[in-house]
Amino acid sequence: MNEFDINTNTWYIDGFAFSEDGGLNLEDMDWLCDVSQETMTTEEYVITGFESLQEAFENIEPDTDEQQDARDWC
C-alpha cells in the first residue's frame, strides 16, 4: 500500500506474487523481500470509499506526541 498518511489524493495497493513458497523459517524469512517488477501487477488497485478519512489525514496537524503516535500507527 502506498504511504497513505502523506499521499492523501489516492490510496492504492500494488499486487504481487511469489514464484514459490519459501517456507516458514523464522530465522530466515528474507525470501519475502524477493519482489520484483516481473512479479508485480502493472495496475494499481485504487481504494475508494474512504475520501473523508483521506481528507482528515490531509488536514490534520498533530500537536501532541500522542496524536503523532496515533497517526504513525494508522
pLDDT in tens, 58-68: 877 778 899 88
pTM: predicted TM-score of the whole model, two decimal places:
0.56
What backbone phi and psi angles, to 5 degrees, belong to 35?
A: -110, 135
Residue 52 has pLDDT above 80, yes or no: yes
Question: How does residue 49 score in pLDDT terms, banded at 50, 70 and 90?
Answer: very high
Question: How does residue 48 score in pLDDT terms, banded at 50, 70 and 90?
Answer: very high
Question: How does residue 71 score in pLDDT terms, banded at 50, 70 and 90?
Answer: confident
Mean pLDDT of 46-67: 85
Distances in Å between the Cα of 22 and the Cα atoms of 7, 17, 26, 30, 32 are 32, 12, 11, 9, 8
Contact 58, 50 (CB under 8 A): no
